[in-house]
Amino acid sequence: MPSPKIFTFVRRSLRLKTILAFMIVALVPLIVMIGLYFQTISDLLVETARQDLQIGAQQTAQELDTFFEENIIDLHAQTQFSDFADYLKGDAAYRTASAPRLSAIFRSMSRTANPAYVQSFMLLDENGTVVFDQSHLDTGKDFSNELFFSKTWGAGFPQVTLTTPGARGERSIYFSAPLWDTNDQKVGVLAIRYNLNVIQYITGESSNLAGPETFAIVTEQDGKVVGWHTEAYPPQEFVKIDTAKMGSFSRNISLNGEDYALVHLPLNNAPLNVFYVRSEISITDFVRSRVMVIGLISLGVLALTVLLAIGMGNRMVRPIQELTKASASLSQGDLSTRVQVISLDEVGQLGETFNQMAEQIENEVAEIRKGEERYRTLSESLEQMVYQRTEDLQLANKDLESFAYSVSHDLRSPLRTIAGFANVIIEDYPSDLDPTIKSHLDRIIHAANKMAELIDALLTFSRSGRKVVNKKSINLAEIVQNVIANCQSAITGGRQVEWIVGDLPNVNADPILIEQVYANLVDNALKYTRGRAPARIEIGSISENQHYLFFVKDNGVGFNMAYADRLFGVFQRLHPESEFEGTGIGLATVQRIIFRHEGRLWAESEVDVGATFWFTLG
């Protein structure tokens, strides 16, 4: 297993990484190419072999078919002469007189045929008896049971027939055609007998048509061999190949213990098959030789790649090493560091960019140092100004809160006096007061009381801004139950209120201020559900993204969301006071408390359906 030091060296050495990168870029495609090329060459060679064997088989089959066709055509042409029919129909004297002419005709026919393999020309009568034989060997013999005669006589047109071995072990090919007289009556058969070795001769001539070590084998339908290349293929009596199951091209066919690729074609003019074959060993040797060539080329490319990678690695790494040294010097504070640019390529551009960057840094550092001095002076001045402004703002806020508290507190006494004297007049002089005067006094008392409520609300609003937020862990469920109990005791007139309280977690907040939030929101819900029977108020929370959202929901009159931005303003109302009483400060107070807890407050509503107030706590 490689040492960790080697991996560390590889990680730190750009030169080695460059060399390895060049080698990988060259080797991976090379290996893939070798794998693909081997398969491609193999497939191409098989296809080439098939095409070559197909051509060899076609040429061999054409030679044999031509041989059979020419003999049949010639034989059929000879039957058109009346000499043969006349001879068969003539008496003994006529036959004796016509024999010389018949012999001359047969000699003429033998010159057009292949004389080396023609055994005899024969004339047979309708009974199958040989009445004339050029070789004089079979004259007078009865051939009525011979296949060539029975087939020709029965079919009525020329036939090609292969015989079984005779007494001397020889086999023959018969070309035979029926003879007709002038009345279109069959009178006999004209036949040519060839030695079967003519097939061997034609087969031998077709060797190497598809390249070296290719040859033909000709068989009968049952696989019996009738022609082969005697030098390339030892004699064999049968070729056991099922031509019905094999295609025109097959591989790895075993013949005499050796595997061959072959193409099979049947003859058109004779019951024979042509197999054109090539040894599988020759295909394998060709592939192996090509792989060796590819291997040698690959090794040469690899060696060249290594040399190129080393040269390119050195050329690329050297300026980068200089840049590394210059960067280290620059990082240590030597802002005058520059590198020498000796090329116009990307590395040279990198060096030029580095020099520009170093110059820019040097200029910017000089500006920064000047700016730092100006900033130090300005910062000291600004800190003094901020301190003074903060102190003035805190003093102004205290004065404003004190003023608001004083004004609210000082207004109570005159309001109590006005309301008190108005009540005294009504109580002391009930019978002397004009109804109009009494109505005016009632209005004064109502206005004074309303003003007192506003003052109390303002004081509460002021306190909510001045009170220190004292956060601690509180039980929201207990606070909500206290608020509901207080509100329930204040419900009059037999109102039916359905309270739904969901799960409420413990939170870190000011208990007094949070109770004020729930008191204002629940009071709002009770007020705006006054016309509902029953009123339904739901209090709960949901968890969203690891934060809690708290809500108070009712089925009251709701409000138009187009005016939602006015909802939390001081003295802002969305419903007339004649329908729903209030000061317009309650929701403003809730918003201030929630903001002081670093939370959010918003509402959702639909007219005559209800409203939901949501808030979060920071």
Q: Between vectors from CA 267 to CA 229 and to CA 196, what angle results, nearest 5°?
A: 50
User: Which pair of tokens denotes residue 471?
Assistant: 């956060």
Q: What is the pLDDT of residues 4-32, one digit of tens each?
A: 544 454 455 666 776 677 667 666 776 77
Q: How far apart are CA 270 and CA 227, in angstroms?
A: 14
For residue 563, what is the DSSP state?
Answer: G
Q: CA-CA distances (angstroms) from residue 573 to 57, 191, 577, 588, 609? A: 108, 131, 8, 11, 19
Give the contacts of 471 (CB within 8 A, at least 6 positions apart).
508, 509, 510, 597
* Average pLDDT for the chain: 79
End-to-end CA, the chain: 57
Give the contacts of 520 (CB within 8 A, at least 6 positions apart).
586, 587, 589, 590
pLDDT of amino acid 168: 53
Q: How far apart are CA 265 and CA 243, in angstroms?
A: 9
pLDDT of amino acid 589: 83
Q: What is the pLDDT of residues 542-558, one digit of tens each?
A: 988 888 999 999 998 88
Q: Which is nearest to 265 in space by CA: 487, 14, 58?
A: 58
- Average pLDDT value for residue range 106-117: 72
pLDDT of amino acid 71: 86
pLDDT of amino acid 128: 92
Q: What is the pLDDT of residues 208-217, one digit of tens each?
A: 877 777 888 8
130 with 144: CB under 8 angstroms?
A: no
Bridge-based pairing of strands 225-227 and 159-162 is unpaired
- Average pLDDT value for residue range 590-608: 89
- Average pLDDT value for residue range 401-412: 65
By three-state DSSP, how is residue 142 classified? Answer: strand
Q: Which of 96-100, 260-264, 381-385, 441-445 has the lowest mean pLDDT?
A: 441-445
pLDDT of amino acid 188: 93
Bridge-based pairing of strands 225-227 and 214-220 is antiparallel
User: Which pair of tokens denotes residue 268?
Assistant: 């058109």
Q: Which is nearest to 483 in space by CA: 512, 510, 460?
A: 512
**CB hemisphere CA count around 531 (13 angstroms):** 9
131 with 88: CB under 8 angstroms?
A: yes
By three-state DSSP, how is residue 30 classified? Answer: helix
pLDDT of amino acid 489: 78
Range picked from 91-95, 176-180, 283-287, 441-445 for highest mean pLDDT = 176-180
pLDDT of amino acid 10: 47
| pLDDT-derived band at 234, boundaries 50, 70, 90 | low
Query: 501: buried, middle or exposed (CB in 10 Å: 19+, 13-18, 0-12)?
Result: middle
119 with 138: CB under 8 angstroms?
A: no
Q: Which of 67-81, 191-205, 314-328, 450-464 has the lowest mean pLDDT?
A: 450-464
Q: How far apart are CA 17 and CA 326, in angstroms?
A: 22
Q: Which letter, b or e, does each residue of 545-565 get, where b requires 16 or more Cβ atoms within 10 Å of its Cβ?
A: eeebebbbbbbbbbbeeeeee
Does residue 319 have a cis bond before it (omega within 30 degrees)? no
Task: Name the one residue in this structure whose structure tokens are 């004081």.
Answer: 459
Q: What is the pLDDT of residues 475-490, one digit of tens each?
A: 999 999 999 988 887 7
Q: What size, in residues, is the chain?
A: 618
| pLDDT-derived band at 460, boundaries 50, 70, 90 | low
Return the higher-pLDDT residue of 351 and 600. 600
User: Which pair of tokens denotes residue 159?
Assistant: 């036939």
The model's pTM = 0.45
| pLDDT-derived band at 407, boundaries 50, 70, 90 | low
Return the higher-pLDDT residue of 329 and 451. 329
Give the contacts of 573 (CB within 8 A, at least 6 positions apart).
582, 584
- Average pLDDT value for residue range 376-385: 82
pLDDT of amino acid 473: 92
Domains of the chain: 11-332 (3.30.450.20), 469-615 (3.30.565.10)
Range picked from 175-189, 250-264, 553-567 for highest mean pLDDT = 175-189
Backbone Cα Rg of the chain: 61
Q: Which of 109-123, 131-145, 171-185 has the lowest mean pLDDT?
A: 109-123
Q: How far apart are CA 304 and CA 370, in angstroms?
A: 58
- Average pLDDT value for residue range 526-553: 89
Q: How far apart are CA 107 and CA 534, in angstroms?
A: 135
pLDDT of amino acid 425: 80
By three-state DSSP, how is residue 131 classified? Answer: strand
